[in-house]
Amino acid sequence: MEDCFPALSRRRDGPWLAHRLDADTAGCLLVALRKAALRAAQAEFAAGRAGKTYWAVGSGEMTAEEGVIRLPIARHSDRSGWRMRPDPGGAMAETHWRVLGRAPGRTWLELTPHTGRTHQIRVHCASIGLPLLGDPLYGGEAGAPLHLLARGLRLAVDPPLAAVAPVPAPMRSALAVCGFTGCS
């Protein structure tokens, strides 16, 4: 991604990523072209004021309509690599979730993380019995791309910033089965 940055600006300094997404996550990513914009965006993220909304397709069926997951997570390594996992000694992570649609064996979720931990949404969804489709690291069905979309991003900077990402082609069929019509 960052290899393309020189095409975005003729300035020698910048552009810069204002935040990160997991490598397999599609969607909104904020790129700052000026240092002042980068600092303002990073301040919003650091203070927890950045509004982030994700869509995901979970492998399984959720009967409740919405809830909040409060679960500390920490990084753990072994011979096969590293992963995040629930850990009482880890950093507290909080995610609000809401069901947007259902199908046999699938649940379409809207997720709002209130903290920004690595793999937070993936670990939280697995912890409630809904590992994400395409996420073999945390128990989801392998063989498909990760069904996680950074759907929306809002920052109360001057002027305010808001973006909504379109649904990527690999997620469309799973969302359609759950009731997505392409108009949301």
* Residue 158: active-site member: no
Catalytic residue among 22, 24, 78, 158: 22
Cβ(113)–Cβ(94) below 8 Å: yes
Residue 6: asked if its preceding bond is cis (omega within 30°), the reply is no
Tokens, residue 167: 């649904």
Contacts of 22 (CB under 8 A, 6+ apart): 118, 119, 122, 146, 148
- Name the amino acid, one letter, at 78: D
Residue 131 CB burial class (10 angstroms; 0-12, 13-18, ≥19): buried
Active-site residue set: 22
